[in-house]
Amino acid sequence: MRRFLLRDRASGRAVWAVSLLAVAIAITIALPPITNLMLVSATVMAVSIAGLSVLTGWSGQISLGHGGFMAVGAFVAGIVSRDAPGAPVLVVLLLATVAGAVAGFIVGLPSTRLRGPYLAGMTLAFAFAVPPLIQAGGELTGGSGGLPLDRPTAPGWFMSLLGTNDPTSAGAHWLAVTSLVILALVLWLLSNLFASRFGRSMRLVRENDVAAELVGLSLPRIRVQAFVISSAIAGLAGGMFALTKGGISAQDFTPVLSFTLLALMVLGGIGTLLGAVIGGLLSAYSDDMIAWLTSHFGIDPGSNFSANLKTMLFAALLIVTMMVAPRGVAGQVSSLRTKLTRRR
């Protein structure tokens, strides 16, 4: 009976995912190319935040270095598509995912024996160590100039389906659709993982590691596995980043990226997949919001203040959210929902 229920829930999740995906894809048709490209960067960030959320929200470990894992995935994807120009996108993304997983395994190994601030500090050091390493990579990583990359173009059948001959608009549209599909796939896999035996084990390790050990779970193994899954997803996000940005360099993966991922995860809601989507959208549209703010309040756009306004607001929001509503936007939404249903 229980097994049946679980399977039922799983198929319910799949139905939800597919229908939401269909709606999102339908929306992309109405969007101009530039907005579609913003949507692409929103999905990339959402995928990466979802990976971080698994680690922090589910297994209770914190990473301040997820930008570093994204960098590993991005550069593996970049180098492969430069050196093997005909490689299928799926293979490139798969390699980026594997590379992220390997990096996560190495950095996550000490998590078998460390927790909390030590682990956070170590991942922070990783985030700081990766960009100079890329810059020192010489021809392999393109040095400080980075790698120029071509965006994948829309296939012929897609263009004829849209009835367009404009490669720019179709290309942006194609990227938006494929990234949405990847995001939906990742979220669907993660929501299944959350409900699985492994997902429950991770949450038990977070809530009460002594109890977890008593029921026979291996703490080190689960901690490292969580790290590997999380950084594999970050690697995938990095691969998507590389393929959709038209070029990557060390500058794209400074510690600021890691901090931004953390901030967006907390704002959206730690450990929730909805939070990851909210975080991704926030990141893609924050530049527009800041531009609106500066023009609305008459702030000189060339000043140091307006150049730093976005990061400043993110940081302030991060502190306030953590102090006042640590469960983020998604947490507020779900507690509101419980309140409403209870009243009824």
Using CB under 8 A, which of 70, 122, 159, 278 touches another protein? 122
211 binds another protein (CB under 8 A): no
The interface with another protein within residues 238-297 (CB under 8 A) comprises: 255-256, 259, 262-263, 266, 270
Q: Which two tokens stand for residue 115?
A: 């927790």
| Residue 58 DSSP class | I
Q: If binding is defined by CB under 8 A, does position 56 make contact with another protein?
A: yes
User: According to the binding rule CB under 8 A, does residue 308 interact with another protein?
Assistant: yes
33-53 vs 273-296: helix crossing angle, rounded to 10: 130
CB nearer to another protein: pick between 22 and 106: 106
CA distance 141 to 161: 37
Binding to another protein by residue 210, rule CB under 8 A?
A: no
Residue choice 9, 113, 200, 221 for contact with another protein (CB under 8 A): 113
Which tokens in the block code for residue 106? 């190495």
Tell me whether residue 171 or residue 331 sits nearer to another protein (CB atom): 331
How big is the site for another protein, counted in residues (CB under 8 A)? 52
Told to check if 125 binds another protein by CB under 8 A, we report yes
Interatomic CA distance for residues 280 and 277, integer angstroms: 5
Shortest distance in whole angstroms from residue 196 CB to another protein = 24
Nearer to another protein, 75 or 314 (CB): 314
Buried b vs exposed e over 186-198: b needs ≥16 C-beta within 10 Å?
bbbebbbebeeeb
Would you count residue 133 as binding another protein (CB under 8 A)?
yes
Question: Is residue 87 involved in binding another protein (CB under 8 A)?
Answer: no
Tokens of 231: 């950084």
Give the Cβ contact number of residue 138 at 10 Å: 8
Contact 47, 233 (CB under 8 A): yes
Q: In the chain, how many H helices and how many E strands?
A: 14, 2
Q: Tokens 């659709």 sit at which residue?
A: 177
Contact 168, 33 (CB under 8 A): yes
Measured from the CB atom, the residue of 263 and 282 that comes closer to another protein is: 263
Q: How far is the CB of 165 from another protein (least distance, A)?
A: 46
Under the criterion CB under 8 A, does residue 29 sit at the interface with another protein?
no
Could you give the C-alpha distances from 237 to 1, 47, 114, in angstroms and in order?
38, 6, 26
Q: Which is nearer to another protein, 103 or 170 (CB)?
A: 103
Determine if 205 is a binding residue for another protein (CB under 8 A): no
Nearest CB to another protein, comparing residues 1 and 214: 214
Rounded distance, CA 27 to CA 43, Å? 14
Q: Is 3 exposed, middle or buried (CB count within 10 Å of its CB: 0-12, 13-18, 19+)?
A: exposed
What is the C-alpha to C-alpha distance for residues 201 and 280, in angstroms, rounded to an integer?
27
Q: Which is nearer to another protein, 76 or 184 (CB)?
A: 76
Binding residues among 141-180 for another protein as defined by CB under 8 A: none
Our CB check for another protein shows the closer of 32 and 116 to be 116
Q: What is the smallest separation between the CB atom of 318 and another protein, expressed in angstroms? A: 4
Q: Reduced to 3 states, what is the DSSP secondary structure of residue 335?
A: helix
| Contacting positions for another protein (CB under 8 A) | 56, 60, 62, 64, 106-107, 109-110, 113-118, 120-122, 124-126, 128-130, 132-137, 255-256, 259, 262-263, 266, 270, 303-305, 307-309, 311-312, 314-316, 318-319, 322-323, 326
